[in-house]
Each structure stands twice: as structure tokens, then as C-alpha cells.
Amino acid sequence: MTTIGYARVSTPGQSLDLQVDALAAAGAQTIHTDVASGALTARPGLDAALASLTSGDTLIIWRLDRLGRSLSHLVATVDQLADDGITLRSLHEAIDTSTATGRLTLTVFAGLAEFERSLTAERTAAGLAAARARGKRIGRPTVWTPERDQAARAMQEDGATPTEIARAIGVSRASVYRHVRQATDS
């Protein structure tokens, strides 16, 4: 049974010393670190820490926010650890998933994450509906200006391919195909 530590700071100007010292004092035999934003998917230190863990091992972190990019990512990571038989200890929040209280706390976090996702989806849907009701066009603005339309039509009449048209007027080929289809449907 191995105890692995993981520490992360967001910028090179920040120091890992506080976290590393706390993890070592808590019994971490090996400590993996990252200097990277928590929002980044690729964190080599975390990947190495997770890869070195096996069933019966413990992952120690200084704070929960060091582990996950978001609450939902944190919950997914903790669920994966539990599925693999790995215990998680967070020093700052005093959570230890080897105890009933620690598992309960993480279950509450999982419920809050699901609640947060539901609220976000509801707010987004309500905002989009309100915008549509006010006559707003939802989505990315069109790149197809009247000038581009005129240039594309002229090039098409001269026998240019959609790829040539797209390159010349600075839009994607898909935009050209969409425009050509709309023009022939009309």
C-alpha cells in the first residue's frame, strides 16, 4: 500500500513548497507536481500520479481544487479512484474516502455537481428562449456578407470551384457549399 502525493500551482511564480511539505508530513512516499492551470486537460504530474496508483493505495492532495478542473471533473476523478480501489485524502478539507464521513462528503459534492449542471442547463435554455422571443438570432454570426455573396456568384459563373471561391473570399468551403445550396434551392 503506497501513498502518493499530488501538488499543483497555476503559475511558475507560485511555490509548490507549502503543498509538498504538507504532503510529505502526511506520509506521501512519492509526490508528483504540476505547474499548470487547473483548467488544462494535460497535466503530466497528475497523469503520473494516477498511473502509479494501484488498488489499496492512497492519493493525498493538499486541497480538492488541486485535483479537478471543475466540480464535475473532480467527482469523475474521485469516482474513478474509488472504482480502482484507491483512497483519496484531502488535507485542507479533512476528507478521507476510507471513512464513512469522507465518502458522505464526496457524495454530497457529487450531488452538488449534478445540481450545478442542471441549473446551468436550465439558465442557458431560459436565456436562449428569452433571446429568441426578443427576435435575436442565436448562434455564430454569418460570415456571408453581401460583398462575399456577389464575389462568390461572379466566381461561380466564371467556373471557379468551391475551394477556389472559399480561398479567394476568405470563408470555409462549407460556407460556399451552404451558399450554393441555398442559391439553387431558391
Is residue 4 classed exposed, middle or buried when 0-12, 13-18 and 19+ CB atoms within 10 A define those classes?
buried
Contact assessment for residue 87 and residue 98, using Cβ atoms and an 8 Å cutoff: yes
> Could you list the active site residues?
10
pLDDT digits (tens, 9 = 90+) for 25-80: 999 999 999 998 766 677 899 999 999 999 999 999 998 888 876 777 787 888 89
* Model pTM above 0.85: no
Cβ-Cβ contacts under 8 Å for 22 (sequence gap 6 or more): 62, 91
Instruction: Enumerate domains of the chain plus CATH numbers.
Output: 3-111 (3.40.50.1390), 146-185 (1.10.10)
pLDDT, mean of residues 9-27:
93
